[in-house]
Structure 1
């Protein structure tokens, strides 16, 4: 029920003169994001989002420098593909936004160690002499066991 109320509120808000430009801009940016997902290499597109489009300059946000570098290599073809789709894009800027919430829709879940891994780590810890490595393995095991009990 709440979603319907929010959608109704946003629909009414989008019709007001004060907010019409904002909603129009966001609608256009959403369509451009869909086009970007179609024309960009899938292994890059899934990690990126459009940051803005102003004065024919498009900003693409990448989560890290490696993806940004690969994206920069594809910029000439992206520019041509956007133009072929009817968008007046004359320049593309790639910005790195680490820890962004939009990457893949949700934050990554913390990896879990399966039972076989836990058993192997127990054997390893038992065989190691007292050392920082042994302490680190035991700490990892303690976290893995507490995660299993909580989950």
Structure 2
């Protein structure tokens, strides 16, 4: 579906009584998220997100790991002050660690490829030949060796 059609569909859906409150809540959370990102240091912006915000001033911030959560905890008074100055009432801030939060967005994940040396392949081949035919270990070694030879 082209983006223009999707935007029109979402706008029409947002005007229906069933989804109006949901869309209003999502838009409000997006605004709170914008203010949160302005309140935290640049280095932490891609490692945290608003998890929950209530009218009584509770802000739950999801952090990607414990280190980020600890840094944000130290910055909590500053975050609270900046958000209150921006017009977002924040009385209490809680932190929750969500490890999978940015794992899909992380561009610096590298795949580690390991390979067996030629000597290791020869020794495993000898071991495989010495095992009884059809044994589970022999099948596993055969698969490992086949995979190693493809590389």
TM-score, normalised via structure 1 length? 0.68
Could you tell me which runs of 5 or more consecutive residues in structure 2 were left unpaired when the two chains were aligned. Answer: 121-143
- Whether contact under 8 Å (1:47, 1:104) holds in the other structure is no
Count of residue correspondences: 126
Counterpart in the other structure of 1:36: 36
Matches within 5 A, 1:138-149: none
Which structure 1 segments of 5+ residues have no match?
129-138, 147-151
| Residue 17 (str. 1) matches residue 24 (str. 2) | no
Instruction: Note the C-alpha offset of 1:6.
Output: 1.9
Taking only aligned residues, the RMSD between alpha carbons, in angstroms, comes to 3.1
Query: Where does residue 106 of structure 1 map in the other structure?
Result: 105
Q: In the aligned structure 2, how far is the partner of 1:90 from the partner of 1:46?
A: 24
The 8 Å contact of residues 75 and 92 in structure 1, kept in 2 or not, is answered as yes
The 3 A distance-change label for structure 1 pair 71 and 110 is closer
Deviation for aligned residue 1:2: 2.5
CA distance in 2, matches of 1:104, 1:110: 9
- The Cα of 1:46 is off from its aligned counterpart by 1.6
Displacement of 1:5 in angstroms is 2.3
Structure showing the higher helix proportion among its residues: 1
Counterpart-to-counterpart distance in 1, 2:57 and 2:4: 35
Specify whether residues 110 and 43 from structure 1 end up closer, same or farther in structure 2 by C-alpha distance, changes over 3 A only: closer
Greater Cα radius of gyration, structure 1 or 2: 2
Matching of residue 80 in structure 1 with residue 85 in structure 2: no
Structure 2 match to 1:134 = none
3-state SS of paired residue (1:106):
coil
User: What SS does the corresponding residue of 2:52 show, helix, strand or coil?
Assistant: strand
Q: Does the Cα contact within 8 Å between 1:46 and 1:104 map onto a contact in 2?
A: no
